[in-house]
Amino acid sequence: MLFNSLSFIVLFLPITTLGFFLLARRSQTWAALWLAAASLFFYGWWSVEYIPLLLASVTGNYLLGRRLPGSARRRWLVLGVSGNLLLLTYFKYADFFITGINAVAATQWPLWHVVLPIGMSFYTFTQIAFLVDTYHGKVKEYRFVHYLLFITYFPHLIAGPVLHHAEMMPQFARLATYRFSRANLAIGGSIFVFGLAKKVLIADHLAPHANSFFGQTEPQTLLVAWGGVLAYAFQLYFDFSGYSDMAIGASRLFGIRLPLNFDSPYKAASVIDFWRRWHMTLSRFLRDYLYIPLGGARKGSLRRHLNLLLTMLLGGLWHGAGWNFALWGLLHGAYLMVNHAWAALAARLRFPVGAAAWRMPAAALTFAAVCVAWVFFRAADFSQALLIVGAMAGHNGASLPEALAPRVMGIQPMLDALGITFHVGGGTRFVQTYAWVAVAAAIAWLMPNTQQIMARFEPTLGARWPAWLPNRRWAVGMALLSLACLLSLGRPAEFLYFQF
């Protein structure tokens, strides 16, 4: 069941919300069980047969967590983390490993074609964090109904955010959570609509242009290649940002606050800053449960760089079982190594890297580097990725569609000086691609993000105009935006992060 489907918006979400608060009048436990049952129904809408696997994972990790405060703590922790990783490896990486063995050893082992249960990567990482936190004595509440709800909670179950036990369990035990709030309804509903608009009004309109470009096999020229890559970059941006907003908004209806997961990452002036803004909870997980345990920066700069490279490699493979994802992770690991080395050198030279004059060129360079890496993230295979990167570097020259020639005659000498020629066909697609890219870029770079618009009621970031207020003007605006989204739904498209 998709957040951007009528069945979710018109039926599931209102019924679940109403049932939760009606039951909460009688019993908090019954309300929590209702929300957990609704979350399992939400998950089972995709495939009922994987509900037993989810429940077995939840029960097994809960029982292991209860053993961790006792004797043989380290043994139980190793068992729990290993069991989670082995289960994820089987479902997500079995065919990847078989393909690798066949390629290296020239064998012909048949693929198992294992279906990856949706959301498994997210709920597995969440439960690993729970086990590690329990081992370190950070878990204080062990009610099974709350743990079941913590893992299965539908706003985060399918595509995150990756949650910490400590930031959710106290909310499930708090009395205020079970009292209906008109403020939460207004705030949560508005955040949800902002996310829905990002998905159906922007990301889904960029998708055909990105898919068309990456579906082509013939070589492309510089401007066409950059147009296709930018279309995908902004499609992924608004798709994931939209999902994150909808998850936070839907959860706020119940008075439950999810952590921020997306903070205008394309405004980042460095790759370090990018990873503080993109998929923030995954970055937090990789830092706390992988990078720091590996030694972080405590054992010298060389070890830090190796730890960064390994962390990002595993982060890339978490996104998918393919060499393209591994290379994407390695690229970002290399970016981070260069970024840290440059920061250290600039500090010694007293170079003003933080000066306002350097922010725009630094942000442009960071964005370009991120776009190059997205090619490997999206391309069908390594060879296609190399062809696209070559085209982006101008190896195939630069050209415009022939249909645009009459419209640019006034700047023909400048185009000739730049070596830009004209090619047959593609005029309408070219113009539409860059038009949607321009709209998306203007919103991403010039407009405040959802947190900034809502900052007066969630003071995590500084408020920016237009700041949301519970008044008639905003009510009319949100109603019109909701209507535009509903009219644009049609056949709802899956969120890109569902595949990970």
C-alpha distances (whole Å) from 476 to each of 99, 121, 262, 407, 466 are 55, 39, 27, 40, 14
DSSP state of 320: -
DSSP state of 424: S
**Using an 8 Å Cβ cutoff, are 222 and 229 in contact?**
no
Establish whether 136 is a catalytic residue.
no
Amino acid letter at 166?
A
How far is residue 117's CA from residue 440's CA, in Å, rounded to a whole number? 32
> What is the full DSSP assignment across 145-186?
HHHHHHHH-HHHHTT-PPPPHHHHHHHHH-GGGGS--HHHHH
**Of 282, 253, 5, residue with least CA distance to 129:** 282
In the numeric block, the tokens 């970002």 are attached to 332
**Using an 8 Å Cβ cutoff, are 243 and 494 in contact?**
no
**Using an 8 Å Cβ cutoff, are 397 and 419 in contact?**
yes
> What is the full DSSP assignment across 439-454?
HHHHHHHHS--HHHHT
How far is residue 225's CA from residue 274's CA, in Å, rounded to a whole number? 23
Q: Given 146, 164, 205, 319, which residue is catalytic?
A: 319
Active-site amino acid positions? 319
